[in-house]
Structure 1
Amino acid sequence: MAEVKGTTIRRGRKFGQVLEGARMVFLRDGYEGASVDAIAQQAGVSKATLYSYFPDKRLLFLEASKSECARQTEEAQQTLSPETPAPEMLRFVAEKIIEFISSDFGQALFRIGVAEAARFPEIGREFYQSGPMLLRERLGEYLRAAAERGELAIGDFDLAADQFASLCCADIQDRLLYGVSRRISKAEAKRVIDAALEMFLARYGVRAE
């Protein structure tokens, strides 16, 4: 069992079933729109069973978020190999980052993870480990491989990975989180991605002589 400041998540035979149902509903309806009834129905369990595993909707959402982050990371790793040229790989990563932070699911994850971090530091750490830290690790691994074959010149791979992720959020995440914009157009996303790649490769790219 996983325990967070007196709130217990029980793991049992139908835990995965409940988690997958929750993941699908949260992705479809967002955090606010997802009802416990809909999650229980999607998971094929009773509300009593759902509550026996997750007594708090926020904890269920964060656990489902960890599952979705892991799924997206695995999908991305299967799509492109470490040998993929840096501009192609970085554009793919940037598109995935913007797709995630622009989604209702991604925005809710950020808001709830940050809001709960003050009261429940364990939740904040889990949010960080399943999202930003996972991205840093996977992207850092790729950057190291690209540097080893002479395509990039990077000394601090963790910092470089964080910098690239931040460049991809520029002018998008704040507008969405503060409600200035409701959606990001493809043109807006491309503008940010193009600028992120240009700036990152200007700093870390190796020019052919």
Structure 2
Amino acid sequence: MTACTGKRELNKAKKRAEIVEVATRSFFGRGYGATSMSAIADELGGSKATLWAHFSSKEDLFAAVVDNKVETFSQDVDEVLTGQVFSFPALRRACLRFLDCLLRENSVQLFRLVVSEGERFPEINEMFYERGPFKFRACVTSFFETRFSHEEAERLTLMTVSAMIGYRSDVLMRPERPTLRDREAFVDMMIGLIDWPRALPSEALPA
């Protein structure tokens, strides 16, 4: 009985992943507004009831696409932030990893989709922000809080994240992508221009 249940759950997970993959291509290729549940069901080639059994709406399906893309992004960034105590080398590594993730094709496609259709469909703006940027900013703030007050950590998060997202937007308008050396130069310049607050005394730092 357990083996049958396990196989059934595995098949269900595989079907869900297949649906998310097809939906991703549709959202990125056609846009959010032009994508329909019926079209996705037709592309899957199965019963529409199967699609609806996994996802109750297009919004629910889009959320799964965002979660899928954000998970990989988060794993890469968390690797250089989670459990780290603030230092300039650690910040530099995190910023470079963040830029690398931001400039990956999947990240760029998702960003362009949200920006282009977020005004018409504000629900996808909120969905994307809560699942991606909001969680990432909280992670960055926690990193800064290992050396600065909560208020200063929030200010530093706003400055660094905004600078890197702005850099990504600038890059997307260029005919050529920046090299690793270009990205390193930007990160070094950004860190050098920040008005760094006084760090908390060592006795106030978390153990």
Q: Is the 8 A contact 2:92 2:187 kept in 1?
A: yes
Would the aligned equivalents of 1:136 and 1:161 in 2 still touch at CA under 8 Å?
Answer: yes
For 1:47 and 1:89, the matched residues in 2 are separated by: 48
Residues 68 and 101 of structure 1: CA distance in aligned 2, closer, same or farther (over 3 Å): same
Contact 2:20 2:61 (8 Å CA) reproduced? no
Q: Which residue of 1 aligns with 2:110?
A: 109
Letter in 2 for 1:174: D
Question: Larger Rg: 1 or 2?
Answer: 2
| Among 158, 163, 169, the residue aligned to 1:162 | 158
State the one-letter code of the partner of 2:191. L
Q: Assess, with a 3 A threshold, how the Cα gap between structure 1 residues 87 and 19 changes in structure 2: closer, same or farther.
A: farther
Matched residues, number: 174
8 Å CA contact 1:154–1:160 kept in 2: the answer is: no
Distance 1:78 1:113 in 2: 26
CA spacing shift, 1:136–1:118, aligned 2, 3 Å: same
TM-score (norm 2): 0.64
- Aligned residue in 2 for 1:204: 197
**Residue pair 1:95, 1:193 contacting (<8 A) in 2 also:** yes
CA distance, structure 1, for counterparts of residue 164 and residue 99 of structure 2? 7
1:80 shift after superposition: 4.7
SS of the residue corresponding to residue 119 of structure 2 reads: helix
Q: Secondary structure at the match of 1:73?
A: helix
- Pick closer, same or farther for the CA change 1:192–1:98 going to 2, 3 Å: same
Residues 90-124 of structure 1, C-alpha deviations (whole Å, 9 max, x = no match): 11221122112222222211111122222222111
**Cα–Cα, structure 1 residues 31 and 92, in superposed 2: closer, same or farther, change >3 Å?**
farther
Larger displacement relative to structure 2 (162-171 or 109-118) = 162-171
Q: Of residues 178, 184, 194 in structure 1, which corresponds to 2:188? A: 194
> Structure 1 unaligned runs (5+)?
1-11, 34-44, 148-152
1:205, distance to aligned residue in structure 2 (A):
5.7
Secondary structure, aligned partner of 1:138:
helix
Q: Indicate yes or no: 2:46 matched with 1:48.
A: yes
Identity %: 16
Task: Measure, in 2, the Cα distance between the counterparts of 1:188 and 1:127.
Answer: 29
User: Aligned in 2, Cα 1:174/1:86: closer, same or farther, shift over 3 Å?
Assistant: same
The one-letter code of the counterpart of 1:193 is: V
- Alpha carbons of 1:125 and 1:189: their partners in 2 closer, same or farther (altered >3 Å)? same
State the Cα RMSD in Å.
3.8
Cα 1:184/1:90, change in 2 over 3 Å: same
Closer, same or farther: CA 102–72 of 1 in aligned 2, 3 Å? closer
Q: Structure 1 residues 180 and 134 mapped into 2: Cα distance closer, same or farther (>3 Å)?
A: same
Pair 1:172–1:125, CA change in 2 (3 A): closer
Report the alpha carbon displacement of residue 73 of structure 1 after superposing the two structures with TM.
1.9
Name the structure 2 match of 1:70. Answer: 71
Deviation by residue 1:12-48 (Cα, 9 ceiling, x = unmatched) = 934642266469x86xxx9349xxxxxxxxxxx9443
The residue aligned with 2:122 is 121
